[in-house]
Amino acid sequence: MVDETSKDKLVVKDLNVRYGTKEVLRQISFAVRSNEILGIIGPANSGKTSLLRTLNRLNDNDAAFSMSGTVTLDGQDIYKKMAPHTLRRKMGIIFALPTPLPLSIYENIAYGPKLHGTRNKTALNEIIERTLRASFLWDEVKDRLDMPAMKLSGGQQQRLCIARTLAVEPEIILYDEPCSGLDPISTAKVEEAMTLLTKQFTQILVTNNTKQAARVSDRTAFFLTGELVEIDETQRIFTVPCDQRTEDYVSGRFG
Amino acid sequence: MKSVRRIWNRIVEFVIEKAIFLAGILSIVFVVLIFVFLLKEGLSLFKEYSPLAFLFGTKWYPISHPPSFGIVPLLLGSVVVTLGSIVIAVPLGVGAAIYVGEVAPVWLREILKATVEFLAAIPSIVLGFIGLVTLVPLVKQVFHLQTGLTAISGSIMLAFMAMPTIVSMMEDALRAVPSSYRYGAIALGATRWQTIWRVMLPAASSGMLAAVMLGIGRVIGETMAVMMITGNAAGIPTSLMQPVRTMTATIAAEMGEAVQGSDHYFSLFAIGIVLFIITFAINLTAAFFINRRSKA
């Protein structure tokens, strides 16, 4: 399963991550297939967020961070063969707390495409409508695109961040507990958006909510104290996991 | 026994409360008293001398007969030196603040910040005579002037004095930008420079403007250093390469020789009023920008 096949988009091999002397990820190996949603579950301190930060190279400026092993995107080593901003253009990330920029709704989404050279007004308008529709926000904001993004509700801000990420046209989208601060209705909208986005994108969803992983992900990986315990089809993880610890976690016996 | 303690506590409480109130109110009282005194002395000039001739007169001849108290040359002197120093200090300050706040590694950041703030600890008279023996001859040589005691020397020197204020306040403003903005931009594939330019600087702009305003406030009120190196000729400046005389230098230089109660004496207070109004306006603007930042 961790073998590199042509369908594998992102391959993580023998990844070890430390912050100072603290080991947060140990010997992680797995592959993410094209156009799947991979759910990553596990209790606090299991290394889920550290994994995402490592995949997106957000740790680069952290002096305490050190790693070994490789992460390859389409066969290219992301630490040796890519500039961080090139990588992040291909691999967008949605944080747990929405991170709108202090700009209007329109400018928030236009920011990424403008950075990467799209100046044409009609093209930008088209991108904005398309991405807002994809994140199920269009109907709520189409008449007030000039409003400061900070004035949106938390759920709307999070969907705006998804739209903003889509506008850069990445290949992979990482979600770091994207619904932890959202109400059930907003959560449902975000999940609906994710499901529809699988046609275009490969998605990795880190979540504290095992039910969410069960609902939206094709495959699920279970992390525990820095180790990858098990990765398999979501249905199998939640019904007949191989490892006793996985079963205990998904059935709510600890966590 | 118990009731004695209670009464004692109440007395202590009362005394401390009033003492703190007094300490707080005193600063306001002093400002008001100073302003009233300044007004009383300064406005006395206008009993015999026209305010228009004072504000718009182009000649400052306080001891000729009849005397002429036109402050335009002095006002322009201050403005020219201040503008010159801001033009120098702001780009340098913004650059330094971005480097210290966003780019430099942590160990270097601490050293740089401490050093910049140490610059503020150098007495202005020391900067003045260092400028006099190093900068003034240099300016004379570089621009082929008859004298190096010019507005530009003052501007350069004052730029150094404004730098600590500008850099450390701007750095604070940058630091106050929520890190979610930075991550938001980085996650979209922005480079470090794009993040700083398009996100961090706009978000910090209010605080940075306030830093500039306070820098201007510091520069326009500065006296000793400019007096030593700007040449002190009360003519209307047409370029930065000429000697100028600022309002502050005029007061400092002439207060000792002006006869108390004379028009000359009152005119110096009137200059004080003008300076007071200018710095007050600048501080008010700075406060406005700082307020806007904390509301946003």
Write the burial class of residue B64 (CB in 10 Å: 0-12 exposed, 13-18 middle, 19+ buried).
Answer: exposed
Within-domain flag for A20: yes
Q: Which of A171, A216, A251 is nearest to A38 (CA)?
A: A216
For chain B, which ranges sit under pLDDT 70? 1, 293-296
Q: Is the pLDDT of residue A3 over 50?
A: no
The answer to whether residue A118 sits within a structural domain is no
Give a yes or no: residue A245 inside a domain. yes
CA–CA distances in Å: residue A205 to residues A214, B201, B202: 11, 32, 32
Q: Is residue A53 part of a domain?
A: yes
* Pairing label, strands A227-233, A219-224: antiparallel
User: Is A161 within the bounds of a domain?
Assistant: no
| A217 contact partners, CB below 8 Å, separation of at least 6 | A36, A37, A38, A39, A205, A234
Q: Which residues contact residue A131 at a Cβ distance below 8 angstroms, ignoring those fewer than 6 apart?
A: A109, A163, A164, A166, A167
Q: Does A161 touch chain B (CB under 8 A)?
A: yes
Domain with A225 in it: what CATH number?
3.40.50.300
- Residue A228 DSSP SS3: strand
What's the complex ipTM? 0.74
What is the residue extent of each domain of chain B?
Answer: 2-47, 60-295
pLDDT tier for residue A4 given thresholds of 50, 70 and 90: very low
- Decide if A24 contacts A14 (C-beta within 8 A): no
**Residue B260 burial class via C-beta count within 10 angstroms: exposed 0-12, middle 13-18, buried 19 and up:** exposed
Count of structural domains, chain A: 1
Q: Do the Cβ atoms of A101 and B181 come within 8 Å?
A: yes
In degrees to the nearest 10, what's the CA dihedral of B287, B290, B292, B296? -160
Closest residue, chain B, to A92 (C-alpha):
B187
Average model confidence (pLDDT) across chain A: 89
Considering the domain boundaries, does residue A3 fall inside one?
no
Selecting from B188, B191, B296 the residue whose C-beta is nearest the C-beta of A111 gives B188
Structure tokens at A141: 């904001």
Q: What is the pLDDT of residue A11?
A: 94
A168 near B CB under 8 A: yes
Q: Which fold has domain B60-295?
A: MetI-like fold (1.10.3720)
Query: What's the predicted TM-score (pTM) here?
Result: 0.74
* pLDDT over 50 (residue A1): no
Contacts of B104 in chain A (CB under 8 A): none
Query: Measured between CA atoms, how close is B113 to chain A, in angstroms?
Result: 20
Mean pLDDT confidence for A41-55:
91
From A4's Cα to the closest Cα of chain B, the distance in A is 27
Task: Count how many Cα atoms sit within 13 Å of the Cα of residue B287 in the half-sphere of its side chain.
Answer: 6
Residue from A236, A181, A186 nearest A213 by CA: A236
* Residue B1 pLDDT: 65
In a domain, A77, yes or no: yes
Residue of B188, B292, B293 to mutate for A, most A C-beta atoms under 10 A? B188
d(CA A159, CA A179): 10
> Which domain range does residue A12 map to?
8-97+172-250
Edge-to-edge order in the sheet of strand A8-19: A22-33, A8-19, A65-73, A76-77
The pLDDT, as a whole number, for residue B66 is 86
- CB-based contact (8 Å) between A112 and chain B? yes
Q: Which chain B residue lies closest to A148 (C-alpha atoms)?
A: B296
pLDDT at residue A52 is higher than 60: yes
What angle (nearest 5°) sits at the alpha carbon of residue A119, between those of residues A117 and A121? 150
